Amino acid sequence: MGSKNNASYNDQAHFSELGRRIEAPPIAWLMEQKLKHPDLISLAAGFTDSPSLPVKEVQTIFAKITKSNKRAMECLQYGVGAGRDQLRQQTAEQVAGLDVSAPEGPCYKPDRVIITHGSQQFLYLLTEALCDENDIVLVEAPSYFVYLGILQSFDTKTRSVPMDSDGMNLESLKKTLEELRQSGEIRKVKMLYLVSYFQNPTGISTSLEKKKAILRLVKSYEKHAGHPIYILEDAAYRELKFPDTPETPSMLTLPGARQRVIYSGTYSKSFATGIRIGFALLPSPLRTVVMRIKGNHDFGTANLLQSILEEALDSGLYQSHLNRLQSRYQSKARHMQKCIQRSFPDEIEWAGPAGGLYFWAKAPKNISTGPRSPLFKKALKERVMYVPGVYTYAKDLNTHDCDNAMRISFGNASLEDIRQGIERLGSALNAQCSRKK
């Protein structure tokens, strides 16, 4: 029974296929770098702004929800798998409100809502419900890298569609669908995944026109697929729009959305990331299965967290906090933009976002931004870190074609860290650009 005996087994060979297949997340490696270099300024983390976390609000809310013993006991007891009735009702209204639709619209019914332990959990549950190995999900190029990791772990394949400044390039989407139809693989296509607001990593939002065109186009291939092709609209960053940015309706507002569009969102980023509450609105047969799987994961998101959100929404503290947060992120983004203008060489392409947490910058094609690139090493030496763009592209692409971008976050860094961080990154970029001239 000693370690000799144990050592005779290959460590991983007896794990499940998923267990053997799943890769270390890029984020783990980035966090290691941060631990190795504690004086590093991380513009990599997708963390939210700490000083603006709603401490006072949560204190007020907590006092309120535990004032009556009956309500307090409810918060501390098990709940039900779908989530608390009131929070589902509020969530349906919240999304309908953003969409300026009547909450009684068919897409915004509380019985289409599920509450999850962060919206990440929903992405997982849904993918479990729909996707087997070798099934296909259409994704934006680039896309949210943790979602790409989920697909990789399930051995579900991707088809990447490049993006314009207002969302997926329709010609490319059409070409991809057409190729899939011709090869017969269209039968394997289960879903199109869209991070439609201030996308992680690019900051790009999908316009309503594009949403319409995408839904129409995908629908037109269903007869070839022989089954529904869903669109997962991941609206995680929707409420982090800057105050000046106009609201874009979600795909739920479109005709034919009810049976095809799955909308996911979160209260974590817009309120407090330590209170992990996500949600989704989705068609009924799929919701039933997602709820069954969630019953096996955890039979319901922690009631205390749900109760806090209910009261936050009900009291107006959620909205007042959000208003402040939107202004705060806007000013941080403007600050970062000024710093970038001052420090980045002209060769770097970038655009300021209208919401969310990220800038996306592209170096010339001949400058790699990858984790082993001279640029990344130089940046570490300058004590600054970004997310290498290559992490955000799915594996169906040639790495070489997506190795020159960076995600730079203003979410968690202080104004001073943004200033210094961008200055340091500017030095690293200037050094690399001048070397390549």
Count CB neighbours of 34 within 10 A: 14
- Kind of pairing between the strands at 278-281 and 113-116: antiparallel
Instruction: Report the alpha-carbon distance of residue 6 to residue 26 in Å, rounded.
Output: 30
Give whole-number Cα distances, 68 to 33, 57, 289, 318, in Å.
Answer: 47, 18, 36, 21
User: Considering only CA atoms, which of 125, 107, 129, 121 is closest in space to residue 305?
Assistant: 121
268/373 with CB nearer a second copy: 268
> CB 279 → a second copy: shortest distance, Å?
14
Instruction: Locate 313 and state its tokens.
Output: 């929404």
> CB 296 → a second copy: shortest distance, Å?
5
17/104 with CB nearer a second copy: 17
> CB 257 → a second copy: shortest distance, Å?
9
202/301 with CB nearer a second copy: 301
User: Considering only CA atoms, which of 54, 432, 412, 59 is closest in space to residue 267?
Assistant: 54
187/338 with CB nearer a second copy: 187
Please return the burial class of 134, using the count of CB atoms within 10 Å of its CB with bins 0-12, 13-18 and 19+: exposed
3-state secondary structure of 113: strand
157/424 with CB nearer a second copy: 157
Residue appearing with tokens 């001949």: 366
- Say if CB 164 and CB 141 are below 8 A apart: no
57/403 with CB nearer a second copy: 57
3-state secondary structure of 248: coil
* Residue 428 CA from chain centroid, whole number: 28
3-state secondary structure of 253: helix
> CB 259 → a second copy: shortest distance, Å?
4
303/368 with CB nearer a second copy: 303
Residue appearing with tokens 């029974």: 1
Please return the burial class of 252, using the count of CB atoms within 10 Å of its CB with bins 0-12, 13-18 and 19+: buried
> CB 73 → a second copy: shortest distance, Å?
5
> CB 284 → a second copy: shortest distance, Å?
9
State the sign of the Cα–Cα–Cα–Cα dihedral 93, 96, 100, 103: negative
Please list, in sequence order, all residues whose beta carbon lies within 8 angstroms of the beta carbon of residue 372, skipping any fewer than 6 positions away: none
80/102 with CB nearer a second copy: 80
76/102 with CB nearer a second copy: 76
